[in-house]
Amino acid sequence: MAERQKSGIPPIACFTATAKRDVLEEIVDYFRCETGTELTRYEGGVERDNLLFEVQTVGRHGKMNRIDGLLHEHLDSHGRKGSAVVFRTSRQAAEETAEFLMQQGWPAAYFHAGLLAGYEHILVDEYQDIDKPQYELIGAITGRQEKDEDRKFSILAVGDDDQNIYTFRGANVGFIRRFEADYAADKTCLVENYRSTRYIVEAGHRVIARNRDRMKTEFPIRIDQGRSLLPAGGVFGDADPLTRGCVSVIETADMEEQADAIVAEIKRLRELGVQRWDDIAVLARHRRDLSYVRSLAEREGIPVQWPLDRGKLPALHRFREIFAMLQNVRQRPPTPVRASALAVELGIASDESDANPWRRLTAELLGEWKEETADEPLAAADWVDFVYEALAQRRRDERIGQGVILNTVHGAKGLEYKHVLLCGDWRCSPRTEEDERRVLYVGMTRARESLALFDRQDVRSPLLSGLTGPCFSSRRFDGPRPTQKPEAKAYRLLGLEDLFMDHLGRCPPHAPAAQTMKSLPFGAPLTPFLMGDRIGLKAPNGLVVAQLAAASLEWKDRLSEISAIKLLGAYTRLRSDAATPDYAAKLCAEEWEIPICEVIHSKTVSTRIKGKWPACPIAPEPQTPHYKRTE
């Protein structure tokens, strides 16, 4: 077809039934970069008139005959012209089906995709967190049910049933418990801890040992042999005159006093010599537990890192700074280039003091690329592939700000920090107690050098009661309380679904509002106001740079609760993102920016905080010019 059309690149069509918005954007960007092809998106519905879906109940031994019957039913009427595909769950089943069909007179052949061709061994980490579909997938890949031993892969699974904390999404610790039987496997218990001090290890064991439903009750975790001669509280803890490295259990009255105690402990750690703010992490059971800590910390001048809502965070490669970098790389000559030279060429320098997280991210990506390639010259297209892959992984962990890390225990899974302050509401029922204790245990085991647990007396929890022994140091918080109570705040990310994405797409690129949006820096304040039955967002110069979507009109009667809206990033939207060609034809720009914002609004956290914040003034609706598209 390419030869007939005198084209070097054949026509391309991509079909997907389940890809989300960010995946679609990555596909479009990939073809634009790799082939120079601009794909047009067409989005249809779920109806497929040419497809039939039917579930039939057959016995295990009648399945083959039913397949033969379906082939006769659908192909005999066409003189056995056409073809059919039969999907089976294993290679052996595919071979047996093909052999049966050939015996029935059908020309058939089996095919196995060879997903792991060339591999013999499989390692599955965090096996305690897999769910049923993942369990079935692993079994299909490894050939768990294969009779021929030569067709099976060897498999090594690593997991800790004490850290199974994803039951809410279907993870089942039962799969790791039957691993030995599934694969006739040998079990080895890894009991040495290479991360935490002896006191932290002992404290974690005392907490999790209360759970009855455990696999390794006879194999308690211990500190590794290489650190056995160090002080029980570690080198840092041994120099702490208050705790001597013991795990602190700090009793507080309520959420407000808990935040006071956390801020006081952060300041105390700094006085003990902790130089980097991000060596300290405040972890909580729920995200809402962190809001008051952030409010007080920022009021006290303590910088923090705040986790972004991954459900609302759009594809990172479309943020202004990253998008511009990728565009520049695509426009350069296709000659190999070193990472160090590329950084100079793009004007990207590592600067930890830079307040813009997206500029810091581009510098970090280049640094990682330089390390991975040993700064050898490679094609720029390889760099682009690396960026997409790295951003896909980073999206789940993206945070804003620089300073003390605020995160949930689930968000911190797999990470570690020198100093951990573990707080929140740990109430639980007898039915959920063991699940919640595993979450607490995971939070405790993130700590390397010091650990503090905050025990709120207004929400007493059995998880924190009776923590005694040489590894614990308990005290009641009696530090100074702030003379002026901070306002209780809540923080919410406005994502693409919260905004009318094509507001500036209806303006030509030279329009003042579009130019204003392109010049807004990270952290710029935006002001909400009523635009008839919609809500608009104004830049500091008074021009409207965004409108909230109809789905976000809940804010219409709550504008007085909003104390601030700040710009976290500028997302680039393209005309080709439009749902239909007809709609795309109505737009006046090829690309424009959408503000991704954080809304800071009032929130009552206890009966001791009453009233609302001062009302945010509602500006009158400005006269926004209307533009028509010009060719």
| pLDDT digit string, tens, across residues 365-419 | 999 999 999 999 988 888 888 888 888 777 666 788 889 999 999 989 989 999 9
Q: Given this model, what pLDDT does residue 313 score?
A: 85
Measure Cα distances from 125 to 117, 157, 271, 435 in Å. 21, 6, 39, 20
141 or 482, which is more confident: 141
Residue 621 pLDDT greater than 50, yes or no? no
pLDDT-derived band at 57 (thresholds 50, 70, 90) equals confident
pLDDT-derived band at 629 (thresholds 50, 70, 90) equals very low
What is the DSSP code (8-state) at residue 337?
A: B
Phi-psi sector, 24: left (phi>0), alpha (psi -120 to 50), beta: alpha
pLDDT-derived band at 202 (thresholds 50, 70, 90) equals very high
Q: What gap in Å lies between CA 9 and CA 609, rounded to an integer? A: 65
Half-sphere exposure of 523 (CA within 13 A, CB side): 7
Tens of pLDDT, residue by residue over 331-373, are 888 889 999 999 999 898 888 778 899 999 999 999 999 999 9
| Cα 371-372-377 angle, rounded to 5 deg | 90
Query: Which residues are within 8 A (CB) of 614 and not within 5 positions of it... i.e. 6 or more apart?
Result: 563
Out of 434-448, 581-595, 617-631, give the one with best mean pLDDT. Answer: 434-448
Residue 511 pLDDT greater than 90, yes or no? yes
Residue 531 pLDDT greater than 80, yes or no? yes
Among the listed residues 489, 409, 423, the one whose alpha carbon sits nearest the alpha carbon of residue 265: 423
pLDDT-derived band at 261 (thresholds 50, 70, 90) equals very high
Residue range 60-69: mean pLDDT, rounded: 78
Q: Given this model, what pLDDT does residue 172 score?
A: 82
Least confident of 192-196, 433-437, 478-482: 478-482
Percentage helix, strand, coil, to 5, in the chain? 40, 15, 45
Residue 92 pLDDT greater than 90, yes or no? no
By DSSP bridging, strand 447-456 and strand 544-547 are unpaired
Out of 111-115, 141-145, 209-213, 245-249, give the one with best mean pLDDT. Answer: 245-249
Q: Given this model, what pLDDT does residue 486 score?
A: 63
Residue range 266-290: mean pLDDT, rounded: 94
Q: H-type helices in 300-458, by residue range?
A: 320-331, 339-346, 357-373, 380-394, 409-412, 433-444
Helix or strand run (H / E) with residue 294: helix 288-299
Distance spanning both ends of the chain, measured CA to CA: 33
**How much is the pTM?**
0.75
Residue 613 pLDDT greater than 90, yes or no? no
Residue range 291-316: mean pLDDT, rounded: 89
Q: Given this model, what pLDDT does residue 68 score?
A: 83
Residue range 592-616: mean pLDDT, rounded: 62
pLDDT-derived band at 113 (thresholds 50, 70, 90) equals low
293 or 311, which is more confident: 293
Q: What gap in Å lies between CA 145 and CA 483, rounded to an integer? A: 68
74 or 114, which is more confident: 74
